[in-house]
Structure 1
Amino acid sequence: MTDAPAYGFDTLQVHAGTPPDPATGAIQTPVYQSTAYQFRDAAHAARLFNLEEIGYIYSRLTNPTVSALAARITALEGGAGGICCSSGHAAQIMALFPLMAPGRNVVASSRLYGGTVTQFSQTIRRFGWEAKFVDFDDPGAIAAAIDGDTRAIFCETIANPAGHVTDLDAVAAVAADAGLPLIVDNTSATPWLCRPFDHGATLVVHSMTKYLTGNGTVTGGAVIDSGRFDWAASDLFPSLSAPEPAYHGLTFAGLGPMAFTFHSIAVGLRDLGMTLNPQAAHYTLCGIETLSLRMARHVSNARAVAQWLEADPRISRVSYQGLASFAGQERVSRICPRGPGALFTVGVKGGYEACVALVDRLTLFAHVANLGDTRSLIIHPASTTHRQLSEAQQVAAGAAPDMVRMSIGIEDPADLIADLDRALAAA
């Protein structure tokens, strides 16, 4: 689909990146279960390794099934290029890898998935990188945290676990003033609810494990580049703007809008090896075909369940920003005009123990460490996904000890409400 940008979202989610197989006419992209690919001759091999011709060398770098998936997500996000990798956490490292170096830092939102907080506060320090966590509702605090070693700004569109919608326009303005790329995790929103590039983002990352696949079958990640950032405008990003010693001195910025993507393949995937397997890519391609249908149902169900919970006297608070009682409707409608997703937290009267009792007594809600499934899911973050954080960090992330996180699925909302009513009564 060379004319992909002219098509609507519902058409792109079915067709983008996946023309019929030229060998067989198959309309579903085959699972290319191959490690390596035959070169036509020595000159063809040299052109591929020199990035003078696009093709396939080895499946740690590129695979036809995985490339088709990357092309589809790139089309949905409105980007220039992208890569897929083994998980959402892998995607975050892949996004930072060309930008960072020992002694450099990323300014990150304090409202992030607990695993990301741990990855940024602990694990990346082993690379000599640092993360500074600030409240992204305060653009001044973001600007104040930036220093001469800052190389990126990172946030989530709809923050996990509380469903807080980030004002991407305001954050992007700070990033632009500083000449820094803005990396946005769009997992909880998906490009159907928000396209961060339309709000000034530079890179978008996804945990494809969640809504993009939608059925809890595989793990996967993606990094999509807008193609709009000028990597050569300063000397902050030598991996892209200067001769790259890890790839025979090639200057990737000279490749134009695909510079970041080509670096991620030729150096990142080659050396980090965070490869997505083609079977997982196939499952995600199939899942994306119904993305808009599922997201519409996720949002409508989430609103119905959140409204019921808000009115229940056993509940102390509901964080869902699609409720009429939420004061920030202008931001929500500007960033996520189709609704703020289906992820939110619920305060249960009785605190920590009542949350645990509620989780144990639900029938339809699955108690799992995941979100974005067709099934409704619940977890108590303070004892699981955010357990490694201090209580102050839990509260800042929207995962206080008296909160449970809900990811509302596509079931009949009346059944979900009845399940919650029974469990709350028992708890």
Structure 2
Amino acid sequence: MGAEAGGFSTRQVHVGSDAVPATPRALPIHLTAGFTFSDFEEAAAHFGAGDGFGYTRTGNPTVSAVESKLASLEGGAEALLVASGQAAVSVVILGLVSSGGHIVSSTHIYEGTRGLLLDNFSRLGIEVDFVDDIGDPDAWRAAIRPETRLLLAESIANARNDVLDVAAIAQVADEHGIPLVVDNTFATPYLLRPIEHGAAIVVHSASKFLAGQGAVLGGVIVDDGRFDAARAGDLFPQLTAPTRTGDPAPWERHGGRARIAYLRETVAPRFGPTPSPLTAFLIGQGIETLSLRVERQSANALAVARWLESRPEVASVDHAGLPSHPSYDTARRYLEGGYGSVFAVTLHGGLAAARAAVNTFEVITHMTHLGDVRSLVLHPASTSHTQRTEAEQRALGVHPGTLRLSIGIEALDDLLADLTRALEAAAAARSVESAGAGA
């Protein structure tokens, strides 16, 4: 008896569940937990060799299509989409670093990642050392131990805008047979592709510039596909030894793609940071306009930074596109098509001035996010960097009067008008505080 002729409860489940085959122009959303098998042999092939799709936690056509796009744009061999940027970093570390292992990281990394290393992975027996002078290869080299398994840095750092000399640090990593992992969220592949300069792995918070609209969370891992078992097999036995069940090692099955294959097959599906196919679709839609947005955002940000640098209310501007920035020459070597749109500005008048400015903005939105089409502002000392000591904040360029700006695609005149109002409010607050102190 066909489902169409069955009872009410049978028909409500089965009738109309098969869509008519078609070829849509836009990426279709395969919003399903699992996929049907045509026969017994297809199911066995999927679970044996990984052929096709069986369950969205281990693979989904919509997710796979976005992964292919991201791998291509970053110049990598393969990409893995996960549920957040933090999940991307976590999956890489869980896949490559074992208990007793060691990580060398830039001190300028995102605070959530820093806490992950210091508070969470430390409980698993993984240690970390931080490098302050990220432009000095010898500082990285000196921090590496026999048990070091990866170097971690950001292409453009939060909040001081330091730009990483990717090729120099990648060479240090390669000397020891370990990967340089670069968080490329701020730069995006439109401005910088670290793999082209020797980085082994790139991660992103796809929630930011890649998606662009501020509506979804996501993360991505892109691998260069150049893992070499002859050089690094002893450091990563999980990639070169047979599996617990006696199956061939990832290296035997995937060659240079052993790292990303291991993350995809063994780490991500078991820890479970699976992205929704709908989220993947929205990230994919955002990526289609990435170059247009980043180009406009970068141009707006540089114009704003130059304007701010000339204002009497401003103590300093940390934007890598300004000749006054310590990373200016490095930025010119690495960044193509713009210098990014996230940077810091420090106001005279400290906390009172920063508070007044933040509370005055009308066009620029006060929120925890960046890379949005909308311009955003945050006060790092009281939010993103609040877990740092005052001395650590100062070393990172974060002062009581520092604001982090993420510039969007709005009309430049409207942004400057909004900033003018905010700076006038900051100056007034500074005057009031000075008068009170004098009394």
- Match for 1:105 among 96, 102, 116? 102
Structure 1, unpaired ranges of 5+ = 1-20
Q: CA deviation at 1:119?
A: 1.5
Q: Aligned residue for 2:263?
A: 264
Structure 2, unpaired ranges of 5+ = 1-18, 427-439
- Aligned counterparts of 2:247 and 2:94: Cα–Cα separation in 1: 18
SS at match of 1:346: strand
- Aligned counterparts of 2:60 and 2:193: Cα–Cα separation in 1: 26
SS at match of 2:231: coil
- Match for 1:176 among 167, 174, 189? 174
- Match for 1:116 among 109, 113, 118? 113
The amino acid that maps onto 2:157 is A
Percent of paired sites with the same residue = 42
SS at match of 2:96: coil
Q: CA deviation at 1:422?
A: 0.5
- Match for 1:48 among 46, 52, 67? 46
Aligned ranges for residues 15-414 of structure 1 at < 5 Å? 23-51=21-49, 53-135=50-132, 136-234=134-232, 235-245=234-244, 249-254=247-252, 255-414=254-413
The amino acid that maps onto 1:115 is G
Indicate the larger mover: 110-119 or 408-417: 110-119
Asked if structure 2 preserves the Cα contact closer than 8 Å seen for 1:193 and 1:340, the reply is yes
**Alpha carbons of 1:193 and 1:128: their partners in 2 closer, same or farther (altered >3 Å)?**
same
Q: CA deviation at 1:248?
A: 5.1
Q: CA deviation at 1:338?
A: 1.9
- Aligned counterparts of 2:20 and 2:194: Cα–Cα separation in 1: 34
- Aligned counterparts of 2:209 and 2:20: Cα–Cα separation in 1: 30
Deviation by residue 1:142-167 (Cα, 9 ceiling, x = unmatched): 10110011000010111122222111
Q: CA deviation at 1:42?
A: 3.1
Q: TM-score, normalised by structure 2?
A: 0.89
Q: CA deviation at 1:297?
A: 0.3
Runs of 4+ in 1 over 6 A off after TM superposition: none
What is the RMSD of the two structures over their aligned residues, measured on CA atoms? 1.7
SS at match of 2:403: strand
Asked if structure 2 preserves the Cα contact closer than 8 Å seen for 1:111 and 1:398, the reply is no
Asked if structure 1 preserves the Cα contact closer than 8 Å seen for 2:96 and 2:149, the reply is yes
How many correspondences in the alignment? 405
Indicate the larger mover: 27-36 or 216-225: 27-36
Indicate the larger mover: 322-331 or 386-395: 322-331
Which structure has the larger Rg? 2
Deviation by residue 1:265-295 (Cα, 9 ceiling, x = unmatched): 2111221001001111111111111000001
Q: CA deviation at 1:315?
A: 0.5
Q: CA deviation at 1:113?
A: 1.4
SS at match of 1:378: strand
Asked if structure 1 preserves the Cα contact closer than 8 Å seen for 2:227 and 2:258, the reply is no
SS at match of 1:165: coil
Q: CA deviation at 1:324?
A: 3.1
